[in-house]
Amino acid sequence: MKLPRIVILLGYAGLIPFLAGPLWLTLMPQSAPGWLDEVWLNYVALIAAFMAGTFWGFALPACEGPQGVIGLGASAVLMMLAWAALWLPLHGALLGLAAVFILQVLADVWFERTLGSVEGYFRLRVILTAGAVLAIGWRLLI
């Protein structure tokens, strides 16, 4: 099965909020509302947790075998790390969430080799993760 076009479109659309916060703070910092960082950070954590949940979906069909159990565990750990990052001050939270996204790519490598996925999914995940991590890095530099 090939990756549906709607998945690709929604994936790239999901990067818009990642870029919107740092862009606003770069171009018009004086007009940025006080809540911008909190809302943006919550979006980043939400997407990190959502993407961790995709591992659950891939692992579920194989959950009775050892690879499936590892996949379910990885999904839960990555989701909890995304949530825990929100407990940290902004700088630490951003570093923590960037680490979660990087760990997800590493988990994707393992999933791709052991459980397989839909054609084109891994490439899309790597590109979107690079965009997310770059946006987080951009925000850290502001």
Q: pLDDT digit of tens for each residue in the chain (142 aa)?
A: 789 999 999 999 999 999 999 999 999 999 999 999 999 999 999 999 999 998 888 888 878 888 888 889 999 999 999 999 999 999 999 999 999 999 999 999 988 888 777 889 999 999 999 999 999 999 999 9
Written as six digits, the tokens of 17 are 């909020």
Q: At a CB cut-off of 8 Å and minimum separation 6, what does 103 contact? A: 78, 81
Written as six digits, the tokens of 79 are 């989701």
Can you tell me whether residue 88 is helix, strand or coil? coil
The pLDDT of residue 65:
87
Measured CA distances, 121 to 25, 73, 125, 128, 136 (Å): 32, 21, 6, 10, 22
Name residue, tokens 């993760």.
129
State how far the Cα of 100 lies from the Cα of 81, in Å rounded to an integer.
Answer: 7
In 3D space, the residue among 118, 121, 94, 119 whose CA is nearest the CA of residue 105 turns out to be: 121
State how far the Cα of 53 lies from the Cα of 75, in Å rounded to an integer.
Answer: 6
State how far the Cα of 99 lies from the Cα of 106, in Å rounded to an integer.
Answer: 11
